[in-house]
Structure 1
Amino acid sequence: MKVKIHTLFQYLLETVDAQPEAIVGFSLAESPRLGEFLDDLDPDLSLDWNNRDFSGLPELKAHVLAQAGLTGICTPADVLVTAGAAEANYLVLMQLLQDGDEIVVETPGWPQAEVIAKAKGVQITRVTRQEAQGWALPLDRLRDAVTDRTKLIFLTNPNNPTGDLMDRAALEEIVEIADRVGAWLLVDEVYAGLEWDGPRAPSIAGMYARGITTGSVSKALGLQGLRTGWLVCPDAELIRDAVILRENASEIMNIMGEVIAEIALRPERYAPAMDKARAEGSANLARMNDWVAAQEGLGWVAPRAGLIGLGRLLDDVDSDAFARFLLADPYRTFLLPGSSYDQPQHIRLGVGGGKAANLDDGLARLSRALRDYPKAGG
């Protein structure tokens, strides 16, 4: 199996040395500093593994269930702590999918599932979200796409990268679609908890026997560098298979990631941290909405949840060319082109990063670049 590089990661690799002076598109909340956790860290902590549970610190697993609303619905045995949601997704994709299987994915969506599926010789069926419909997942097309050969449905909720949000009723219908053919259903919830116009949706692991919830502390809590996430599934065999695969990859979790994540998810810390992330994200989103409305060369459907959305470049502007134009002098500003999500006329706009993101500076530079960019036929 040879994994080919995805457009998103390729652009990141190609621009890593660009040293931009501004960034528009922060995808996570403002990151805390290590000093904020020092009082709760034991200086005698062994830097060996946790010595208690191969599937993760028991206290951390309990917090994972609590924040997802799964306490009493799922058990700690249903939780596996992983190196971020990316590893959680990877473990599921690698263990469930075999050559000749079929997977149904959304587009735009998080590209990881498609990358792995292609490498494994899996048949991929895409269900397209349309901007004209507010990026909502078309459930009628999902129903048509799922067949008796479908092994796995891979979705994100809130959607990454559009910020669309599926509610309980939509998820119940998706469960019915999956159950009709016995398919597994994975819902990546890395942006859960950052909803702007509705309540947090229920986690799929609590709704379906073959439901898999993945998440992490990376986005809403800004703790991306901990590389600590999880998968939750009531199927004991899937959890065991994931543990076995992880044993032959990362093997065990890093103890510092587990311990700091456990501290961050304690109720007395988690609630105010989420309040702060929501307040700062909401304020930045309001500024972004006002800014987009004032731009002649840009439009967007504001995200209903999460910290990123897709802005549509008008006048047939190619996002790759524009992103590189923006990264050069005199703008020196980084953003991801929409081609990273199969949307070549879009750019990713983010409202994360808190006050430290200095969003106003980035938007001012982006406004100038939109005005200066050569128009077709100009």
Structure 2
Amino acid sequence: MKVRIHKLFQNLLDSVAAEPEAVVGFSNAVPQKLGTFLADLDPDLPLDWNGRDFRGLPELRGHVLRQAGLENLCQLEDVLITAGAAEANYLAIRQLVDPGDRVVTEGPGWPQVGVLTDAIGAELVTVRRRDEEGWTLPLDELRTAVTPDTRLIFLSNPNNPTGRLFQPDELTEIVDIARSVGAWLLIDEVYAGLEWDAPRAASVAGLYERGITTGSVSKALGLQGLRTGWLICRDKSVVMDAVILRENSSEIMNIMGEVLAEIALRPDRYAAAIGRARRDGAANLKTLDKFVASHPGLSWHRPQAGLIGLGRLENGGDSDAFARCLLNPPYRTFILPGSAYGEPRHVRLGVGGGADVNLNEGLNRMAALLTNWNQDQA
């Protein structure tokens, strides 16, 4: 199984090499510091695996269920700790999807499912969200796309990259669509907990017997470097098959990632971290709202949740060309072109990262380019 590089990752590789001075569109909360964990660490901790369960530390899995609102719906055995949500998605897709299977997903959406289904030799059907419809997922089109031979439906909630959040009735209908054909329903929840004007949505692992929830500490908690995520599913065979598949890749979790994630997800600490991320994100979201409103060459639907959204280049042009120009001198600012998500007239805007990403300066430089870009496109 040979995988191709997806455009999002290629852009990230290019941006690191260019050493940008500012970032517009950072997708993680402000990174937490190791020093804040030291008082809770045991200096005699053996740097081996956890020695207790191949699924991950039991107390960590308990925290995962609690933060997802699944403690009364799922058991510890329904949770597998993984190397981020990306590995959780990989383990689910790789074990469930065979060559020739039909997989239905959303666009724009997280591109990992497209890379993996292509490598496996499965059929990928994409239901498009549309800017002019506020990035809602057209459920009538989803129902048409999901046929009796559909093996897996892959979605994200909040949507990555638009920040659109499913309403409770939409989730109910999506589950009904999946159940009508017996399809597995995987929903990536990496931005859950950062809803701006609504409560957190219910996790699909608690709504559907073939529902799979994935998530991580990366985005909302600013702990991407821990590479600690999870897969939740009430079907015991899915979890065990994922354990077996992982045995032949990363094998086991790293103990430091598990221990630090367990500390980070303790209820009081988790609440404080989410509170900080929400305050920081809301402040930057207000800044971005003002920025977009003041530039006629740009528009967006304010994300309902999460740290990123898609801005539309109103005067047309190629988002790849715009992003390349912004990354080069004199602007030296990174922005992800919407082509990474199949939206070539959009760019990804984000509110994460804190002071280190130099957002305000990046917006000033982007404003200068937008002015010139508008003139060039006229």
Note whether the superposition's TM-score is higher than 0.5: yes
**1:167 aligned residue:** 167
Identity %: 63
**1:273 aligned residue:** 273
Point out where structure 2 has 5 or more consecutive residues left out of the alignment. none
* Count of residue pairs the alignment pairs up: 378
1:123-138 correspondence to structure 2 within 5 Å: 123-138=123-138
Deviation per CA, 1:244-294, whole angstroms, max 9, x where unpaired? 000000000000000000000001100011111111101110110011000
Deviation per CA, 1:50-102, whole angstroms, max 9, x where unpaired? 00000000000000000000001000000000000000000001000001100
Structure 2 CA distance for aligned equivalents of residues 22 and 210 of structure 1: 42
1:136-285 correspondence to structure 2 within 5 Å: 136-285=136-285
Deviation per CA, 1:224-246, whole angstroms, max 9, x where unpaired? 00000000000000000000000
Change (3 A) 1:377 1:81: closer
Cα deviation, residue 14, structure 1 = 2.6
Deviation per CA, 1:129-185, whole angstroms, max 9, x where unpaired? 011111011111100100000000000000000000002211111010000000000
2:362 aligned counterpart, secondary structure = helix
Structure 1 CA distance for aligned equivalents of residues 125 and 237 of structure 2: 26
**1:95 aligned residue:** 95
Structure 2 CA distance for aligned equivalents of residues 170 and 373 of structure 1: 39
Change (3 A) 1:377 1:87: closer
What letter matches 1:138 in structure 2? P
Structure 2 CA distance for aligned equivalents of residues 89 and 273 of structure 1: 25
8 Å contact 1:205–1:213 — kept in the other structure?
Answer: yes
What letter matches 1:198 in structure 2? A
Asked whether 1:104 is paired with 2:118, we answer no
Cα deviation, residue 312, structure 1 = 0.4
1:50-129 correspondence to structure 2 within 5 Å: 50-129=50-129
8 Å contact 1:81–1:228 — kept in the other structure?
Answer: yes
8 Å contact 1:105–1:155 — kept in the other structure?
Answer: yes
Structure 2 CA distance for aligned equivalents of residues 375 and 247 of structure 1: 56
What letter matches 1:336 in structure 2? L
**2:14 aligned residue:** 14
8 Å contact 1:151–1:184 — kept in the other structure?
Answer: yes
Normalised by the length of structure 2, the TM-score is 0.98
What letter matches 2:321 in structure 1? A
1:346-357 correspondence to structure 2 within 5 Å: 346-357=346-357
Cα deviation, residue 342, structure 1 = 0.3
Change (3 A) 1:377 1:217: closer
1:369 aligned counterpart, secondary structure = helix
Deviation per CA, 1:300-332, whole angstroms, max 9, x where unpaired? 111000000000012212100010100111110
2:29 aligned counterpart, secondary structure = coil
**1:2 aligned residue:** 2
Structure 2 CA distance for aligned equivalents of residues 357 and 111 of structure 1: 24
1:299-338 correspondence to structure 2 within 5 Å: 299-338=299-338
1:126 aligned counterpart, secondary structure = strand
Point out where structure 1 has 5 or more consecutive residues left out of the alignment. none
Structure 2 CA distance for aligned equivalents of residues 52 and 167 of structure 1: 39
State the Cα RMSD in Å: 1.0
1:347 aligned counterpart, secondary structure = strand
Structure 2 CA distance for aligned equivalents of residues 338 and 167 of structure 1: 25
